[in-house]
Amino acid sequence: MRLDKFLSETGTASRSESRKAARAGGISVNGAVIYDTAVHIDPEKDEVSYMGNRIVYRKYSYLMLNKPEGVVSATDDGTERTVLDLLPDKYRKMGLFPCGRLDKNTTGLLILTNNGALAHRLLSPKCHVEKTYRFTCERALTDADCELLRRGVDIGEKSSTLPAKLMLFSGRSGEITVTEGKYHQIKRMFQAVCNKILSLERISFAGIPLDSALARGGWRELTAAEAAYIESK
C-alpha cells in the first residue's frame, strides 16, 4: 500500500497534507525519515510515525453514533447537515458511511463503518438483523393493535411486515423490534393501525445496544468485543 493511501485511510492526513509533512521531514517508516509518500509499505508490519505520533493501521473502522434529530443519515448533502458533520476531521477522511439509515427526525443508534461487505450483509433482507426502537405514539394501543403489530401489518408493500416484538411501557409508549428495513417502516406500521408515531429512537442494532453514556450527537469507536461481534453477523 502506498504511504499516502495508508495515511489517508487511517484518517491521519489527506494526500496533500501527507506530501507537505513529508517535505518537512515529519514522516518516518521503521525509524527512517521518508520524503516521498508514493513509497509502498506493509501496513501490517511497518511502523509508521506522522509528526511524532505512531499510526496504527486497522483495515476497518466502526463508530457508534447517537444521532440527534434534524440530521440526515448520509455522507454528503447539498442542503442538510449529515451525520458525518458530527465527526472530527480524522474520521471524515476514513471513508465512513452509515450502516443503514435513520429518518431525519428519528434519533438514536447509528453504526458508521468503511466495511462495505459487512454493511451489505447486515442490510440484506435475507439477514433479518434485529433493530429495536423506543417509541411514543399519538393514542393508546389496544390489545388488537398490539396483536396486529406483532403478527405483521399491511403497509402497502407486496407482503405484510414480518412478525415484530412489542413491549409496552404504557398505552402510548414502548419498544418495538423489527427485522426489516423498509422505508419509514415503523411509522407506516403504526399508520396501519390508525395511529401516529410522535417520537422514535433506535436503541439497538444487530445486537449492539446504544451506549447510555453517549449524549445526542455523541460518538465513540466500537470496542474490540463489539467490533468482533458485529463482524460475526
Query: Residue 89 catalytic?
Result: no
| The C-alpha cell that represents 58 in the structure block | 486497522
Contact predicate 73/102, CB 8 Å: yes
Q: CA–CA separation, 158 vs 77, rounded Å?
A: 31
Indicate left, alpha or beta for 106 from its phi (over 0: left) and psi (-120 to 50: alpha): beta
Contact predicate 34/51, CB 8 Å: no
Q: Considering 103, 143, 145, 211, which one is annotated as catalytic?
A: 103
Q: CA–CA separation, 55 vs 113, rounded Å?
A: 19
Tell me if residue 184 falls in helix, strand or coil: coil
Supply the residues annotated as catalytic: 103
